[in-house]
Structure 1
Amino acid sequence: MPAVRPLPELGSIYLDARGAERALRVSWHHESGLVVLSLWRENVCAGSFRLAIDEVPALIELLRAGLVRAYDDARERLDDRDAATA
């Protein structure tokens, strides 16, 4: 099994909500024009996905739109709760 390489200069690790033994590792590889998303379970890479840098804006837009919707939904729930108690 290949050794785990350290993250490049620009990268991060996100822990899974199900537990710290699962993680998403994101690393930029400017030299190859890729962002690599890899799924980790403990210290073993379970899978990876290579995303071309020119596709990153669409991914960011999807995440942004989902976040806006989540905030809107939370705000509506708070407004409904406040209206019910008024």
Structure 2
Amino acid sequence: MRTRPAPLRGAVVADRDRPGRALRVPARPEAGLVVLSAGDGARRTSTVRVAPGDVPLLVAALSGAAVADVLPAVC
């Protein structure tokens, strides 16, 4: 399966269960946002643009989900 190249700045996190699927986090400081893109091979399946001020909430949610059975909803 063909995959998209890694961003010049940022990261790609591979899906644990499905080869070819990944979450891409390209650095976009010039745009004033953080982009999260889910993809399956060369096809992007969804994109979320996060305000820099919301990144700590996102990191906390990911960290909490990694260690807890139930993560309380926060908005």
Shorter-chain TM-score bucket reads 0.7 to 0.9
Q: How many residues are aligned here?
A: 66
Give the 4+ runs in structure 1 shifted more than 4 A.
none
Gaps of 5+ in 2: 70-75
RMSD: 1.9
**Quick check: which has more Rg, 1 or 2?**
1
In proportion to residue count, which structure has more strand? 1
- Pairing 1:19–2:6 present: no
Given that 2:37 and 2:45 are in contact with CA atoms closer than 8 Å, whether structure 1 keeps it comes out as: yes
Opposite residue 7 of structure 2, the aligned amino acid is: L
Gaps of 5+ in 1: 71-86
In proportion to residue count, which structure has more helix? 1
Q: Spell out the pairing of 1:1-86 with structure 2 (5 A cutoff).
A: 7-9=7-9, 11-69=10-68
Q: TM-score, normalised by structure 2?
A: 0.72
Percent identity between the two aligned chains: 32
